[in-house]
Every structure is written in C-alpha cells, then in structure tokens.
Structure 1
C-alpha cells in the first residue's frame, strides 16, 4: 500500500452519482471510496459505469460486513470475493471497521467489541487471515459506539492495542472521535493526540445527528459541523496531512453542495501546509 500524495480529498461514491461522474468528475475529487459489498455483484449499466470510473480514477474500498470482531469463524469465501473485486478494479486500499456485525446471522449494524485483551488477540489474528487472503495491508477504522459492555480497558487503549498486535494501518475517523467524546465524556483532542501517527493511512470526516446534549448518532447524513472541522485541522497539525474522505450516506445534497465541503477540506489542508512551511 502506497499513498504518495497526502493532499488528497475523496468522496464516497453512490449509485445515483454514476451518470453525472461518468460525464465528468470535478477536480476537487481526487479519489472515490466504495463499500465492496454494494458493488461486487452489480452488473448491467451500473456495472459498466462503475468499471468506466475505476479505469480512470483512484478508488479506495471501505467494507461494511467483514465483521472482524465476530466470535464466528471468518467468512473466508467473502474475503476471497473482496480480493477478486479489488484485483478486478486495481484497488490497493481496503479498510474495515473495528467492530462486528454477525454472530449466528448478520445484524446489519456495527456492534462494539468488548475492550479486552482477549478481544485484542482475537481481532489481530483475524486481520492477519484477511491480509493473507487479500494480499494487501489491512486498514482498521476506529468506530463510533454507544455502549461498552465487559470492557477491561479504555477505547484509546483498545484501539492502540489492536493496531500494535495486528501491526496494521489506521483509518482515522475524525467524526467518530468527536461523537464518542461527547457520548462517553472524554476530550477529543487528547484522544486524537494519542493516535499513532505512523499507522495512519487516511482519514474520514462526516456529519452526524444530535439526539440530545450528551447523545450523538453517527449517521453520515448531515453537513460536517464546526467542532469536527476544527478537530480535522488539529489532526493535520498533530499527525500531518493525510488523504481525507467526506462520507455522506443519505440526505445526499447536490454535487455543488458536496463540493463546498470538499473545498473546505482542501482549504484546511492548504492552510496547514502553509503554516508548516513557515514555521
């Protein structure tokens, strides 16, 4: 895995964007991200349009259903299918959530893994299995969560322990840090500072829904708010500039509106780079 240019800004690709982006991709979009599960079996016109885009533009994959923390055996056939998809479209970047979404069946939601030493070793061993099959480095995302049953360590300790045990890269989700800091009462910037710079592959930023003063739901269905923009700026200052993806999964506005948020990311990257050069 090699990301040469760090000053990159990406957008999650949705099916309804295909017609527009097959005509032209705005210059603000340096890469696209897709969930392989949503595209692996797609054929017909959508499949042809997708292939047209992957042949011309850089794509990252961010999975939804690997269920890396599940107690059930790893679905190796699913991982083989993901590898075939990555190979077919020449995609090097594959990330997933530090969570699980299956047991005796698929739960269609991302559930928190207990923050325990046993879970650390379990997840790390499964990550190595996935890397052996995909023949690519595995990138793990810190997730939002709403309960922490059976925990023996903090979220910060757990995330770092898994990264170290698995010796894998990190997809650092800035919005998830903010969401968890409100929901679980910790300082977001302190958490951010304690993430391992050398393991960061790329970043996510997104909007969310405020349910109450102490409850935020990570929806990816709204504009990014100012405290999250500030945390992204803090992230660049602390860890350096990394490729950054805007997630928007529903309530999707026009491309013109999305580009304003992409421009905001570009601006923060440029200002940070200028500040570092003049320091």
Structure 2
C-alpha cells in the first residue's frame, strides 16, 4: 500500500473544514470517484485544493462485480481517466451486486458458490485490465443470506485466491453480519488471509431493532467494533485503517477523536514489536 496510518473518507461536506484545517487531520483520504467524476466549478476547485494536501485512494460504488449484467465499459473508462488524472494507484470495490441493466443503488449479497467464485474472479480480471491497476475487494454488510455452498469467510477467501487480488477488510461489516446473520466475528477476522489484507474500514451503524443492524456509516463506532479492530491488528498486524462517515456528520474535531482512537490502537499494536 502506498498509504499508511489513519485515513478518512472524503465527503463534500468536509471539503471546507479539511481545506481550512491548519494541518492534515489524517494520513490519507479515500474518495468515491463516482461522486467526483465530471465535477466542475467551486466543488472541483475545493477538491483539487484538498487533493494537494493529502494522498488519495479510491473506493468505488457501482462496478457491480457480483452482478450478471456485462461490466459497464463507459464507467470503467471514466474511472481510469479519473484515477490517472489524480495519480491514484489504489482502487477498491465491493464484493456484491448493485445492478442488472440499471443501477439499484444498493449493495446486494451474492450466493456463496464455487461458480460465483470463478465468475466474479473473471470479472475482477476484466476490471484490472481496464483500469491498469490491481483491484482490492471489500466484504460487505448484508441482511439476508442467499443459498450457497460455503460460509461468507470461505467465499471471500476463495475469491481472493482465485482472482489473486487483495482485501479491503471492513471490520464493522463483519460485526453487522454477525448480528444480522449469525457467526462469530472474531473467527471471521482470524480466517482472513493475512497476506491479502491491504487496508481496513471502520464505521458506525444503526440499530434498527433487536437483531438487526444497518450499516449506515451515520453513528459513532461502538465498543465491540473497536474490540474487533484490536483483534484484527493482533491477528494480522497493523494495516492502514480508514474511518467512514456518511450521515449525521459531526464537526471535524469529533471525527478527529475517532481518528486518534484508531491511531492509539495502531501504536499499541506495534509497541510489542518495537520492544522486541
């Protein structure tokens, strides 16, 4: 990974505060390119000003890796142009379906089958060829399980191996799925192949009702998810870790509190190695 430390997801409402902050508040920013491609005017100028202060990585929303419709070649061309123009080398996407012949604006689960492992690995190869970059895939939150032949951790690991690509491990998604669908979140984390983990996501979620958590990115991170992050560092070592916040956006200093918490856990996880 060309980035390290603690990152923050770039949202339009943060542009002014990030540009005016006397010093960088994070080590890198993550950008959803679909929200910025073709942007002009004041927002484009603000984006360029922020991009000059921070290393950028990109996290896509619309590739539909798990879908059945052909990949969107126009989107792939636009993505490559955006990545090239902003000198971004890291691009990640969701291991999910998000459309058929139209955009569904949601991240839907796919059946955990051997056939899907091979099919999605082929689509990943097509994306990598089109973008001229390796693709990192993310485990997603879900609210139902489709019929399949393996568990989610087995499926994710199989796709990583078949496609020979790396993982964006979303720690909050692991926790959300453990509540919604069952399973032991620490065991899921432990089962991920260490050498494939490129970076991590952390976020808060919404408690819709007992036994149902919505991956909203609209609340503070809760203690069980913090504990899972510590477990991840203990199992796999420290990885670049990004804070996502999409809704109920607090002031920047509140976000900085969570960023500093991530940094403290990173430092604590590296101390034994330093002393050794």
Contact 1:124–1:165 (8 Å) recurs in 2: yes
Aligned to 1:124: 121
Unaligned runs of 5+ in 2: none
Answering whether residue 224 of structure 2 is matched by residue 205 of structure 1, we say no
CA distance in 1, matches of 2:107, 2:167: 17
Aligned to 1:242: 239
CA distance in 1, matches of 2:12, 2:274: 40
Alignment of 1:84-99 (within 5 A): 84-99=81-96
Aligned to 1:15: 12
Name the TM-score, length of structure 2 as normaliser: 0.97
CA distance in 1, matches of 2:75, 2:232: 34
RMSD over equivalenced CA pairs, Å: 1.2
Contact 1:28–1:263 (8 Å) recurs in 2: no
Q: CA deviation at 1:36?
A: 0.4
Q: Deviations over 1:39-97 (max 9, x none)?
A: 01211011111122223310111111111111000111111110100000111110000
Aligned to 1:179: 176
Answering whether residue 58 of structure 2 is matched by residue 36 of structure 1, we say no
Q: CA deviation at 1:24?
A: 2.9
Alignment of 1:265-276 (within 5 A): 265-276=262-273
Contact 1:9–1:28 (8 Å) recurs in 2: no
Q: Which moved more, 1:259-268 or 1:269-278?
A: 269-278
Structure 1 residues 127 and 25: CA distance shift in structure 2, 3 A:
farther
Contact 1:55–1:89 (8 Å) recurs in 2: no
Unaligned runs of 5+ in 1: none
Name the TM-score, length of structure 1 as normaliser: 0.96
Secondary structure at 2:52 match in 1 = helix
2:48 to 38, 46, 51: 51
Contact 1:221–1:250 (8 Å) recurs in 2: yes
Q: CA deviation at 1:26?
A: 4.2
